[in-house]
Amino acid sequence: MIELSKLRAELQEILPEKGISELNDFQSKVIDGLKSGKNLLIEGHDGAGKTTALLLSILQKITEASEGSPRAIIICSSDDKAYALHATLEKICRLLDLTVDLAHDRGNKLQQRNDIFDGTEIIVGTARRLYELYIQNGYNVSKLKLFILDDAIDIFKSGYKSQLTRIAESLPKCQHILASQSFSDKRIEEYLDLFVPISMQIEAD
């Protein structure tokens, strides 16, 4: 295990209070990859620490509040996972003066759109809801720094390739991070060829 010294000072102070006191080797490699600026494919089994690595990547990259467009979007494979990740992020973001909004299928779409319109640094949501909000001009991607897919292969197997493609086509130059148990599926391989052609792959032991 590795101490939090690879992370920015604010996180080294805050994270232990939230139960994160060290990184495993896999998470440390993800943080190194994030600093390189390259697109990342993070592959690992359940329990390897993929989602925590994504959470740390967001907190490491989005360093200050800024009104208007989101700086990071993370798409989860289900409402429950989006809700859980948002809850964890929100507790930490409050201490960093950052705003994180939730866009999931069971929530009120209009309320979610209004919350995001009021200004947010980070959006956590599901593919379907984020696509619905996107085509309704519910958020602007012009200043995006991170576009993240958690449990990526599950999202593609659920039939959201066309929605993700539509969003990805409009993204500015930003860092793409995909976490998955596997990347061996035709649908996700086609997406990677189009939108993440140059990437660094990081695998858990």
pLDDT averaged over the chain?
A: 93
Question: At CB < 8 A and 24+ separation, what contacts does 4-13 make?
Answer: 6/31, 6/32, 7/31, 7/56, 7/59, 7/60, 8/60, 8/63, 10/96, 11/56, 11/59, 11/60
pLDDT band at 198 (very low <50, low <70, confident <90, very high): confident
* Digit-coded pLDDT (tens) for 141-170: 999 999 999 999 999 999 999 999 999 999
Task: Name the helix (H) or strand (E) containing 27.
Answer: helix 25-36
Per-residue confidence (pLDDT) for residue 68, from 0 to 100:
76
Number of neighbouring beta carbons within 10 Å of residue 23: 23
Mean pLDDT of 101-113: 93
pTM, two decimal places: 0.94
Percent of residues, the chain, with pLDDT higher than 90 = 83
- CA dist., res. 63 & res. 139, Å (int): 20
Please choose, from the candidates 141, 149, 104, the residue with its C-alpha nearest in 3D space to the C-alpha of residue 120. 141
What average pLDDT does range 31-53 have in this prediction? 93
CA distance 202 to 190: 19
Q: For each of the domains in the chain, give its residue range(s) and CATH number, in order of start.
A: 2-203 (3.40.50.300)
Task: Decide if 10 contacts 94 (C-beta within 8 A).
Answer: no
